[in-house]
Amino acid sequence: MSAAGRVAVDAVGGDHGLTVVVAGAVQAARRFAIPVTLVGPETEVTAELGRHETTGLDLSVVHAADVIGMDEHPAQAARRKPNSSIAVAIREAKEGRAVGMVSAGNSGAVMAVALVLLGRIPGVERPAIASTLPTLKSATLVLDLGAVTDPRPQHMVQFAWMGHVYAERVLGRPSPSIGLLSNGEEASKGNQLVQEVFPLLAAEKGLRFHGNVEGKDVPLGTVDVVVTDGFTGNVALKVAEGIASLTTQLIREELTKSWPRKLAALTLRPAFRAVRNRLDSGEYGGAQLLGVDGTVIIAHGGSSETAIANAIRVAAEAAARDLSATIADTLRRAAESTTRASATGTPPAS
Amino acid sequence: MSAAGRVAVDAVGGDHGLTVVVAGAVQAARRFAIPVTLVGPETEVTAELGRHETTGLDLSVVHAADVIGMDEHPAQAARRKPNSSIAVAIREAKEGRAVGMVSAGNSGAVMAVALVLLGRIPGVERPAIASTLPTLKSATLVLDLGAVTDPRPQHMVQFAWMGHVYAERVLGRPSPSIGLLSNGEEASKGNQLVQEVFPLLAAEKGLRFHGNVEGKDVPLGTVDVVVTDGFTGNVALKVAEGIASLTTQLIREELTKSWPRKLAALTLRPAFRAVRNRLDSGEYGGAQLLGVDGTVIIAHGGSSETAIANAIRVAAEAAARDLSATIADTLRRAAESTTRASATGTPPAS
Q: B240 by DSSP, 3-state: which?
A: helix
Q: Assess A75–B contact: CB distance below 8 Å, yes or no.
A: no
Q: Which residues in chain B are contacts of A134 at CB distance < 8 A? A: 246
Nearest to B303 by CA among B23, B83, B54: B23
Mean pLDDT over A68-72 rounds to 88
CA distances in angstroms from A76 to A72, A79, A86, A291, B215, listed in the order given:
8, 5, 14, 22, 26
Asked if the Cβ–Cβ distance from A242 to B216 is below 8 Å, we say: yes
Q: Which residues in chain B are contacts of A248 at CB distance < 8 A? A: 247
β-pair partners for B287: B298
B271-305 confidence digits (pLDDT tens): 877 877 777 655 566 899 999 999 999 998 888 89
Q: Assess B274–A contact: CB distance below 8 Å, yes or no.
A: yes
Asked if the Cβ–Cβ distance from A267 to B248 is below 8 Å, we say: no
Q: What is the ipTM of this complex?
A: 0.90
Q: What percent of chain B has pLDDT over 70?
A: 94
Q: Which residues in chain B are contacts of A216 at CB distance < 8 A? A: 238-239, 241-242, 245
Mutate to test the interface with A, among B191, B276, B277 (most CBs of A within 10 A): B191
> Could you tell me the domains of chain B?
1-124+291-322 (3.40.718.10), 125-284 (3.40.718.10)
> Residues 288 to 327 of B: which have CB under 8 A from any A CB?
none
Which region among A271-280, B133-142, B152-161, B183-192 has the lowest average model confidence (pLDDT)? A271-280
Q: Transcribe B245-279 into DSSP letters.
A: HHHHHHHHHHHTSSHHHHHHHHHTHHHHHHHHHHH
Q: Is the pLDDT confidence value at A138 over 90?
A: no
SS3 breakdown of chain A: % helix, strand, coil, rounded to 5?
50, 15, 35
B18-55 confidence digits (pLDDT tens): 999 999 999 999 999 999 999 999 999 999 999 999 99
The answer to whether residues B235 and A226 touch, using CB atoms and an 8 Å cutoff, is no
Which region among A307-321, B8-22, B254-268 has the lowest average model confidence (pLDDT)? B254-268
pLDDT of residue A286: 84
Q: Assess A187–B contact: CB distance below 8 Å, yes or no.
A: no
Q: Which residues in chain A are contacts of B267 at CB distance < 8 A? A: 260-261, 264
Q: Which residues in chain B are contacts of A271 at CB distance < 8 A? A: 251, 254-255, 257, 261
The answer to whether residues A53 and A23 touch, using CB atoms and an 8 Å cutoff, is no
Residue of A nearest to B185 (CA): A71
Residue among B231, B249, B261 whose CB faces A191 most closely: B231
Asked if the Cβ–Cβ distance from A215 to B229 is below 8 Å, we say: no
> Residues 93 to 152 of B: which have CB under 8 A from any A CB?
134-136, 146, 149-150
Q: Which residues in chain B are contacts of A135 at CB distance < 8 A? A: 246
The answer to whether residues A331 and A124 touch, using CB atoms and an 8 Å cutoff, is yes
Q: Is the pLDDT confidence value at A349 over 50?
A: no
Closest CA–CA distance from residue B288 to any residue of chain A (Å): 18
Which region among A271-280, A299-308, B53-62, B180-189 has the lowest average model confidence (pLDDT)? A271-280
With both helix axes pointing from N to C terminus, report the angle between A192-203 and A153-169 in degrees, rounded to the nearest 10: 50
β-pair partners for B288: B130, B297
Nearest to B19 by CA among B288, B308, B283, B276: B308
Q: Assess A221–B contact: CB distance below 8 Å, yes or no.
A: no
Q: Is the pLDDT confidence value at A302 over 90?
A: no
Confidence of residue A241 (pLDDT cuts 50, 70, 90): confident
Residue of A nearest to B278 (CA): A250
In chain A, DSSP finds a helix count (H) and a strand count (E) of: 13, 11
A150-186 confidence digits (pLDDT tens): 999 999 999 999 999 999 999 999 999 999 999 999 8
Length of chain B: 350
CA B107 to chain centre: 11
β-pair partners for A227: A143, A180
Q: Assess B204–A contact: CB distance below 8 Å, yes or no.
A: no
Residue A172 class from Cβ within 10 Å (0-12 exposed, 13-18 middle, 19+ buried)? exposed
| Separation CA A253–CA A244 (nearest Å) | 14
Q: Assess A259–B contact: CB distance below 8 Å, yes or no.
A: no
**A39 membership: H or E segment, kind and range:** strand A36-40
Asked if the Cβ–Cβ distance from B215 to A232 is below 8 Å, we say: no
The answer to whether residues A315 and A308 touch, using CB atoms and an 8 Å cutoff, is no
Computed on alpha carbons and rounded to an integer, the radius of gyration of chain A in Å comes to 21
Asked if the Cβ–Cβ distance from A235 to B230 is below 8 Å, we say: no
Angle at A40 between CA A38 and CA A44, to 5 degrees: 100
Closest CA–CA distance from residue B262 to any residue of chain A (Å): 9
Kindly report the average pLDDT of chain B as a whole number: 90
| Separation CA B8–CA B88 (nearest Å) | 9
- Residue burial B304-320, b: 16+ Cβ < 10 Å; e: rest: bbbbbbbbbbbbbbbbe
Residue among A214, A236, A267 whose CB faces B215 most closely: A236
Edge-to-edge order in the sheet of strand A139-143: A59-63, A36-40, A7-10, A100-103, A295-298, A287-290, A128-134, A139-143, A225-227, A177-181, A208-213
Residue of B nearest to A213 (CA): B235
